[in-house]
Amino acid sequence: MTSPEKTSPDPTSPKATTWKATLTETTPPENVRRVACVGAGVIGGGWVAHFLARGYDVTAWDPAPDAAQKLRRLVDTAWPALTSLGLAEGASPDRLNVTETLEQAVADAEFVQESAPEKLDLKRDLLTRLDAATPPGVVIASSTSGYPMTDMQTTAADPSRLVVGHPFNPPYLIPLVEVVGGEHTDPTAVAWAARFYEAAGKSVITMNNEVPGFIANRLQEALWREALHMVANGEATVRDIDLSITEGPGLRWAVMGPMLTFALAGGEGGMAHMLDHFGPSLKSPWTRLEAPELDRELYDAVVAGCDEAADGRSIADLVAERDKGVIDVLRATGRLGREGEAR
């Protein structure tokens, strides 16, 4: 990702402190009842389903002509899984209002989640528009997978209330949200967002430093790049790559992260022994990390490999299978109560 020319607002301008100035008028995160979701594709729609299941009133806007229909279908598809997890009191898909305009969606919102396509100019323009239309003192979060907020908040009149709230697909099942502000974000807005997501049932990592891709996507990207190299070089098939994780480290990663998992590789000696023993292999050529050229051949090989792996299952079948699997893992690892409440 290249960093664009910055036209950052003057941090000493009174506008840059608008959010702070209206803090006392801001709804405490635990009392928020009305959430707006702007952009309602895979992730925006997933956020809508999550917030509805948690009992919020949700307004949504998306410029696509068939967006309302698709969104309601996504919510209906997710609802059985959400019901099995346990709905908040009063939660209902009927509490969704798909509006005609962006301005209507955010007019009464107490929190705004932006989930538009991952294009820097588009995000910048949209956040500027959202900032202009959203009541003062309301935090606006972007679902961006990797742009630093500093690069997205360059043209907003009040950049101090803009934060990144990076979710994982599907946001109605995967608990993690990475929260981080930009150079011109008020740290109180970051703290407010973190508290809000926690109140909304998410697991939050708050980052104090901006790095493109945040934490989890940097880790995922390293694995993804190596997987593409292996497919491109004919070293492994798409199926081999998937099996190597689902039948291998993926099982452990659902229980503990890569750090603790590797500490156990050192036996009684823990991570210290693991480093003494396997440290030298860091110098072995086990990974390339530079991204391979995503040329037509590699593109086709990856797409065809996934079609073959799906073995006739539609995307809807795979989504249902994934959702059931994630719920089973959450349950089996004690991260869900008997009624499905997240711990």
Ligand X SMILES: NC(=O)C1=CN([C@@H]2O[C@H](COP(=O)(O)OP(=O)(O)OC[C@H]3O[C@@H](n4cnc5c(N)ncnc54)[C@H](O)[C@@H]3O)[C@@H](O)[C@H]2O)C=CC1
Ligand Y SMILES: C[N+](C)(C)CC(=O)CC(=O)[O-]
Positive or negative torsion for Cα 289, 293, 299, 305 = negative
**Among 112-120, 232-240, 282-290, 310-318, the segment contacting ligand X (CB under 6 A):** 112-120
Burial class (CB in 10 A: 0-12, 13-18, 19+), 205: middle
**From ligand X, ligand Y, none, which one binds at residue 18 (CB under 5 to 8 Å depending on kind)?**
none
Q: Of these, 49, 52, 56, 62, which contacts ligand X (CB under 6 A)?
A: 62
287 lines the binding site for ligand Y (CB under 6 A): no
148 lines the binding site for ligand X (CB under 6 A): no
152 lines the binding site for ligand X (CB under 6 A): no
In the bound state with ligand Y, the residue whose beta carbon lies nearer, of 220 and 287, is 220
For the bound state, the minimum distance from the C-beta of residue 112 to ligand X, rounded and expressed in Å, comes to 11
**From ligand Y, ligand X, none, which one binds at residue 126 (CB under 5 to 8 Å depending on kind)?**
ligand X
Q: Of these, 134, 143, 150, 153, which contacts ligand X (CB under 6 A)?
A: 143
169 lines the binding site for ligand X (CB under 6 A): yes
For the bound state, the minimum distance from the C-beta of residue 145 to ligand Y, rounded and expressed in Å, comes to 3
In the bound state with ligand X, the residue whose beta carbon lies nearer, of 16 and 40, is 40
Determine contact, residues 99/59, Cβ cutoff 8 Å. Answer: yes
For the bound state, the minimum distance from the C-beta of residue 16 to ligand X, rounded and expressed in Å, comes to 24
Instruction: Give me the 222-261 binding string for ligand Y, x by CB under 6 A, dash otherwise.
Output: ----------------------------------------
In the bound state with ligand X, the residue whose beta carbon lies nearer, of 32 and 71, is 71
145 lines the binding site for ligand Y (CB under 6 A): yes
Helix (H, G, I), strand (E, B) or coil at 279: helix
- Match 């992730």 to its residue by tokens: 43
User: CA nearest 76: which of 62, 94, 56, 57?
Assistant: 94
User: CA nearest 339: which of 93, 81, 91, 84?
Assistant: 84
Which DSSP category does 2 fall into?
A: P
Amino acid at 251: L
**From ligand Y, ligand X, none, which one binds at residue 217 (CB under 5 to 8 Å depending on kind)?**
ligand Y
CA dihedral 296, 298, 300, 306 (to 10 degrees): -160
* Residue 15 CA: distances (Å) to CA of 5, 12, 129, 132, 136: 21, 8, 15, 12, 11
**From ligand Y, ligand X, none, which one binds at residue 144 (CB under 5 to 8 Å depending on kind)?**
ligand X
**From ligand Y, ligand X, none, which one binds at residue 39 (CB under 5 to 8 Å depending on kind)?**
ligand X
Comparing every residue's Cβ against ligand Y, the nearest one is 145
Q: Of these, 169, 233, 246, 333, which contacts ligand Y (CB under 6 A)?
A: 169
* Residue 318 CA: distances (Å) to CA of 227, 250, 341: 21, 18, 24
CA angle 88, 203, 120 (to 5 degrees): 105
217 lines the binding site for ligand Y (CB under 6 A): yes
- List the alpha helices (DSSP H) in the chain: 18-21, 42-53, 67-85, 102-106, 120-133, 149-152, 187-199, 216-232, 238-246, 249-253, 258-264, 270-278, 296-310, 315-332
Q: What are the residues binding ligand X (CB under 6 A)?
A: 38-44, 62-64, 67, 115-118, 122, 126, 143-145, 167, 169
